[in-house]
A and B are shown apart, each in its own frame.
Chain A
Amino acid sequence: MIRWNLTWDKGVGLFLIFAVLLGSLLSDNFANASNLSFVLRDVTEFAIIALAMTFLIISGEIDLSVASTLNLSSASLGFLYRAGVPFEVAIVGGLLVGLACGLFNGWLVTKLGLPSLAVTIATLALYRGLSYALLGNQPVNELPEFWIGIGYGRIPGTFLPWSTILLVVLAAVAWFVLHHTRYGRWTFAIGVNAEAAKFSGIPVQRTKLMLFAMTGLMSGVAGVVYTLRFASASPDGAVGYELSIIAAVLFGGVSIAGGIGTMWGVIAAVLSLGVIRSALQLAGFTANSLLIVSGGLLLISVIAPKVTETLRNRTRAESKDNTKKTIREVGNE
């Protein structure tokens, strides 16, 4: 029997390595600095939101409105800038709108006791609609050169996009809070059993409200990154991102039922999906086959934990049988 305990998040880490090796084998253009910067830039918005989504799903809730929140924050930024507000102030405005979106979701869920799935399906449409109301059909472009440089450019002398600094800092904070503070422990406790958590003195509603607010704020941050990277704010951006983000979080080993998950698993999952996409693309796969491959991967990620669980239970059952046998044998002696 294998003694090394292969948990799902380690598996995702291994998969990341596999994806990198695969990419290097498939294409000469894969394993170099410039491609790494493309992959990083491509996954940044997903990763930033996935950090917050990890907390939310571990606590047993979900937010489907993140992509619409991202876009509403971007649209608000664009709207303010077009109205003549200085760009830096407009960025703060965009972040505040993201925070407000999250607080509104959280308020509906915690104060009115509505299910988060239903609430955020509604706000998914609502926030998207507000983006259209703000910008009409007219995207905002001609943003300040300096900020576009930050959004698209790289740190001088390196291949790293500026947004990577932001991502590393946010990921470190998210990892620390989830695994090393009482807020993290509360999040797990609420996800395992909210009722029990409440009786052991954990402020369940307040924690959940905060998690929703943080998810909104992180979507706002992603919205600002998105706006700068694409040098424009449009009402129809980031459509469908919420599904990719949730898929990545689940692929990272977070249980949709709540209570289980690690930050490293999620980060490895987001990176893996970016890497595998780039690897296949450079290997000459078309957009159509990419869709099939990524869909297949996610399906495997849903099935695999179930299979390993079954296998583990069977092994456990077998070893239990062995133990019984031993006891019987000992008894016979």
Chain B
Amino acid sequence: MNNRLFKSGARAFALSAVVALGIAGCASTPEATTTEETSSSTETTTETAESYRIAIMPKAINIGYFSAWDEGAQKACEELGASCDYIGPNEATGPAQVQFINQVIQEGYDALVISAADQNAIVPALQEAAAAGITIVTSDADVAAESADARLVTVLPSAADRIGTAEVDWVAEEIGEEGCVTILSAAATAANQNVWIAAMGPYLEATYPNMSWCGGDLESATFYGDDDATKSVEQFNAILSQYPDVAGIIAPTTVGVLAAAQEKKAKGASVAVTGLGLPSEMAPYIEDGTIAKVGLWNPIDLGYVAVYAAVLGMNGEFDGSVGSTFSAGEGSYEVVEGGIAYLGDPFTFTIDNIATFKEIY
């Protein structure tokens, strides 16, 4: 019995040895092919980026948000004459993404535009890709700050303070720059919201002289719905009873803005509501006029600008250093501390574009 097993084991070993030798035998040096490609691309750079092959890698395929992201990327590819493939895992984890980064290295792509599913786990793979001469741009989600040297640049939605101040602009526009405003936030400990709110306070006071925070200061004008639908509705009603003259409410959270819109419609309240909202959730309220405008980031632009950054980087027209700039379509983008290019203002959804975006995310 044992002997028979040993024999079969030995045979299997011999087979695998043959396989291994076979692989070593046909090991065509990948460097050779890469050099050919590089030389051919240098020849054509004078005309267009025709020969660039770019991999567009989402955290996971099968997600509508990333399909929109890819749509923007493909548009840029078309404009730049690059050929782009949308590839990636179907589970949004770093290790799953690494297998596809390996594929990108293996197939000798010129550039990789990626939304990092894990800010640490993909870093060694990205570094290997960079060492293989692949230009890497992260977009939508970046790697950890201490690993920023693994990529050329990252394209992110908006700087934190601009997310706050833009929301003040939206509410000001709707209430005619006059009246008192409150905030319906998430939890009191929510880090993102607190950063945005901190930026709103002084901006409103400095920019809009006829506007104020209800109750006299930012603190008394801020309510917390804890990102809970029921609690947010309660807080919305608390705002109305505490400040009957309130002109506008800013809800910098998708849960809060949805709850406020529902309750405003139910109550027939006249207060203006705006904030950060998902187009798919907010569409009914924008379409029936309850809400004039909400904002969020636009994945289409993120993908579009990232492909431009990658191609310009490969052309040597952009090096990703702090202070350097590049243009994509009609916009121009500057790289700030940390190697980040922000798109700028949050993207806004109104009656004019909600029909398109509600299908996307």
Contact = CB atoms under 8 A, between A and B. Distances in A.
The judgment on whether A and B are partners is yes
Interface of A: 7, 9-10, 13-14, 16-17, 20, 24, 28-29, 31-36, 38, 42, 139, 141-142, 148, 151-152, 175, 179-180, 185, 229-232, 234, 236-239, 262-265, 267-268, 271, 277, 281-282, 286-288, 291
B351 interface: no
A29 B6 CA distance: 35
B94 A20 contact: no
B12 A13 contact: yes
Given A32-B30, A230-B95, A262 B106 contact: no
Given A151-B124, A286-B61, A291-B90, A264 B108 contact: no
Contacts of B95: 230, 237-238
Contact of B23 (A36, A175, A267): A36
A175 B118 CA distance: 36
A68 B125 CA distance: 24
16 contacts: A10-B8, A13-B11, A16-B15, A17-B19, A31-B27, A31-B28, A32-B23, A32-B28, A42-B102, A139-B119, A141-B120, A230-B122, A236-B93, A264-B8, A281-B103, A287-B88
Nearest to B124: A152
Nearest to B87: A286
Contact of B120 (A33, A139, A282): A139
Given A9-B12, A32-B30, A268-B16, A141 B144 contact: yes
Given A16-B15, A231-B124, A281 B100 contact: yes
A282 B119 CA distance: 25
Contacts of B171: none
Contacts of B107: 29, 282
A81 to B, nearest CB: 13
A236 B123 CA distance: 17
A139 B144 CA distance: 11
A16 B106 contact: no
Contacts of A271: 16
Contacts of B19: 16-17, 20
A139 B12 CA distance: 41
Given A24-B26, A152-B128, A29 B108 contact: yes
A286 B87 CA distance: 7
A286 B88 CA distance: 8
B102 A38 contact: yes
Q: Which of B26, B27, B30, B99 has the most CB of A within 10 A?
A: B99
B124 A42 contact: no
B149 to A, nearest CB: 13
B15 to A, nearest CB: 5
Contact of B27 (A32, A180, A268): A32
B89 interface: yes
Contacts of A152: 124-125, 128
Contacts of A179: 2, 5-6, 9
Q: Which of B24, B88, B105, B120 has the most CB of A within 10 A?
A: B120
Nearest to B128: A152
A282 B8 contact: no
Nearest to B106: A29
Interface in B39-66: 60-62
B13 interface: yes
A193 B147 CA distance: 55
A322 to B, nearest CB: 26
B121 interface: yes
Given A264-B12, A291-B90, 17 more contacts: A13-B12, A16-B15, A20-B23, A32-B26, A34-B30, A141-B123, A229-B124, A230-B95, A234-B118, A237-B93, A262-B8, A264-B9, A282-B107, A286-B61, A287-B89, A287-B90, A288-B61
B22 A20 contact: yes
A179 B4 CA distance: 10
A191 B128 CA distance: 45
Contacts of A42: 99, 102
Contacts of A277: 99
Given A14-B15, A281-B100, A281-B103, A232 B121 contact: yes
B106 A180 contact: no
Contacts of B288: none
A179 B2 CA distance: 6
B146 interface: yes
B13 A264 contact: yes
Contacts of B233: none
A29 B29 CA distance: 10
B98 interface: yes
Nearest to B61: A287
A48 to B, nearest CB: 15
A263 B9 contact: yes
A263 B120 CA distance: 35
A179 B94 CA distance: 37
Nearest to B85: A284
Contacts of A264: 8-9, 12-13
Contact of A281 (B11, B94, B99, B146): B99
Interface string B103-117: 101111000000000
Contact of A29 (B30, B118, B119): B30
A268 B12 contact: yes
A86 B106 CA distance: 36
A153 B286 CA distance: 53
B32 to A, nearest CB: 10
Q: Which of B12, B96, B120 has the most CB of A within 10 A?
A: B12
